[in-house]
Amino acid sequence: MLEEILRGKKKIKKMITKRFSIEGLHCANCALRAEKVLNKQPGVAAAVCNFAAAEVQVKYDPKATNAEQLAAAIDQAGYRLIITQQNEAETETRQRSEYHTARRNAVIAVLLSVIVTYLSMTDGGAWRGWVLWLLATPVVFVAGRQFFRNALRQARQGAADMDTLVALSTGISYSFSVFNLLFPEVLGRDAHLYFDSSCGVITFILIGRLLEARAKYGTAASLRKLMGLRPQETIRLKADGTQESIKIAEVRSGDVLVVRPGEKVPVDGTITAGSSYVDESLLSGEPVPVEKQVGSKVFEGTINQKGSFNFRAESVGNATILARIIALVQEAQNSKAPIRRLVDKVAGVFVPTVMLIALISFVAWLLFDNIPGDSVLTRALLSAVTVLVVACPCALGLATPTALMVGIGRAAEKGILVKDAEALERAKSIDTIVLDKTGTITEGRPDVEAVQGAMTAEQKRILVGLEQKSEHPLADAVVRHFADVEAAEIEVFQSRTGMGVEGAYQGQTYRVGNRKWMEELNLALPATDFSAEYTVIYFADAERVIAVLAIADRIKPTSVAAVKAFRREGLAVHLLTGDSERAAAALAQRLGIETFRGGVLPADKATYVKQLQAAGRRVAMVGDGINDSAALAAADLSIAMGRGSDVAMDVAQMTIIRSDLSQIPAAIRLSRRIVRVIRENLFWAFIYNLCLIPLAAGVLIPAFGLSLSPSLAAAAMALSSVSVVANSLRLRRA
């Protein structure tokens, strides 16, 4: 079994995950097709395409494929994968260039379309049709050439997307108009020209995409703000004592870097010379600068104040805390919410379905049209064209990712990291929250307040030696308390989860642990007068308890208010702690928590969560330590404190960077709002198509004489996409 696990881990290690910009996405079908193409490539484990961000995240085996091969596959599908790593400035330049191109095409289309529309409403002579043809041609085939080019690429692959619908609709109306202009005798008085319709469709779609591009650029504002925190250059101290300016990408672990007043810390590391105060508000949320001296840790993106210092680089590139935060935000924005999977399924069959409806509409009007007015062929063609134009799946494709991008970016600004979109949907339905004590409710930095029992100098050394080897927060408190005591060399050390630690010194066994363990060992416990608020640990040898230590971990100032906020949100609050039942009761009383349990082992926490779930509760677990990881994994929603262990943060679906419990109600409220906005977007997107497709097909003409022109259909389609993005942008104020 172990060998299988190890082999599995090896396999996982082979996989790498990369994020690429992708060009040519115009609708949800485009994103879905790009995904399918990449997922079919050998060595690709998973590909997720974000239509709103124009990005694709690919997990693949570098031995089986590479970025160039992926780009070639995407190119054949009609899209372009940007495989060169771009910095923020390059990305902005590319996006700006794309925006200017979109604006130029829109301006050309608008100017010419206005003239075409005006001339179409006049009673001009024989020359009018030829002028309309002359003006409409550059609109259709210059400003709108992208639609035909992309539609042709899709056709070669046996696929269809939004551009296919636009190309078909405008191409049909344009060709029909040219035919009527050249051969007016065929249809006689019904030989109408529809150059204005083909121009109007392209113009409105181009305007919509221009507005959509501007709005989508705004959805990534929060992420760009995070990216902007990363410095671009730094100063490296050379071996001969001279300084050189280098790019951040050139920094290597072990380099000694210089940070001057007002500069950002370039990477994570430890100060080797100098001192200063550093603004760490981006990580901690605290506005007061933190004093830094030799041996202090500094982090990328934090801002140095007045002093100067040198520090040794330790975590560089993507290993820094800020880089990990940015990566988490990007991954979350590119993840798929469960509700989006349904949208993808709908989008996958949407375009073919629309083309079928357009064909049915065309045939139906040819066969059954008995309404006076335009010729049968004219009405049939207009009906089919309008259906093709109005049924754009863009709004469906934008509904979920834009809300996720804005909402998750906004959460990151508030110090709340969301690992994936599924966490948002889970957060909205949470009705019970289970809290760990140490590091969650309390500061997580306990101190020894009292020691009962006389210890010899050697016994103190043994106690410190044992606690130095322990990873428990209480052990740190003991080591700090006896900071001037030299630790003894423990020969055989063993940690007993939920009990304590034991080890041998000069052949004798010594233990440090809780009351429960001491009682199991049948050791007599001395009487103490410590209050229930203290955590009591015992130091013993094989025969007797040598000393009793009272340790207190102060409650965070925000914890009491946080518990009240949980109740206002309608959440039942539970407290789990490894401390004694008395200590748990005292803490619960101070916080106003009615349900609590003390003396809980790590495995018991997970069992407790499962019991709540079995009773029909939707449980969120909040913790910060390795001992909480099993419970975090079992919960419906797992939340870790940012200052906790890496294991807890890896398991958790949400991380509170500032380790402030009061941020969790805000996170839950924001999650609920994001999900609400997604549902609003989807509702209006579905309603739009549900109402306008029948109208476009002419269903209401026989009864009410109501119909939709291709130009109005294009305007409605563009408006639907822009409105969805605009609704998502409201989350920036959340």
Q: What residues are labeled active site?
A: 436
In this structure, what are the phi and psi dihedrals at residue 256, rounded to the nearest 5 degrees?
-100, 120
Residues whose CB is less than 8 angstroms from the CB of residue 300 and which lie 6 or more positions away in sequence, other chains included: 230, 231, 264, 265, 266, 267, 268, 315, 320, 321, 322, 323
Q: Which pair of structure tokens corresponds to residue 648? A: 């807890």
Which of 343, 176, 320, 316 lies closest to 236 in space, CA to CA?
A: 316
Q: Which residue has the tokens 């500032």?
A: 658
CA distance readout (Å), 492 to 498, 544, 698:
19, 20, 85
Q: Which residue has the tokens 């010594």?
A: 510
What's the burial of 177, exposed, middle or buried (CB within 10 Å: 0-12/13-18/19+)? buried
- Residue 5 host element (H or E): helix 2-14
Q: Which residue has the tokens 């709340």?
A: 416
Residues whose CB is less than 8 angstroms from the CB of residue 583 and which lie 6 or more positions away in sequence, other chains included: 532, 533, 534, 535, 577, 598
| Burial 330-357, CB ≥16 within 10 A → b, else e | bbbbbbbbebbeebbebbbebbeebbeb
- Residue 335 host element (H or E): none
For residues 620 and 573, is the Cβ–Cβ distance under 8 A?
no
H/E/C letters for each residue in 496-541? ECCCEEEEEECCEEEEEECHHHHHHCCCCCCCCCCCCCCEEEEEEE
Q: Which pair of structure tokens corresponds to residue 614? A: 């079995």
How many Å apart are CA 171 and CA 173, to the nearest integer? 6
Name the β-bridge partners of 418. Answer: 654
CA atoms 472, 478, 483, 486: torsion sign:
negative
Q: Which pair of structure tokens corresponds to residue 35? A: 């995904």
Q: Quick check: helix, strand or coil at residue 230?
A: coil
Residues whose CB is less than 8 angstroms from the CB of residue 182 and which lie 6 or more positions away in sequence, other chains included: none
CA atoms 7, 9, 14, 20: torsion sign:
positive
Q: Which residue has the tokens 């790590």?
A: 602
How many Å apart are CA 321 and CA 643, to the nearest integer? 11
**619-623 and 637-641: which strand pairing?**
parallel
In this structure, what are the phi and psi dihedrals at residue 535, rounded to the nearest 5 degrees?
-90, 125
Residue 178: CB atoms within 10 A of its CB come to: 16
Q: Quick check: helix, strand or coil at residue 311?
A: strand
Q: Which residue has the tokens 């700006």?
A: 96
- The one-letter amino acid at 599: G
CA distance readout (Å), 508 to 459, 490, 503:
12, 10, 8
Q: Quick check: helix, strand or coil at residue 697?
A: helix
CA distance readout (Å), 423 to 509, 645, 677, 714:
47, 20, 16, 37
H/E/C letters for each residue in 172-205? HHHHHHHHHHHCCCCCHHHCCCCHHHHHHHHHHH
Q: Which pair of structure tokens corresponds to residue 98? A: 């794309």
Q: Which residue has the tokens 């289309």?
A: 109
E strand intervals along 200-352: 233-237, 243-247, 256-259, 268-274, 276-279, 290-292, 297-298, 303-304, 309-315
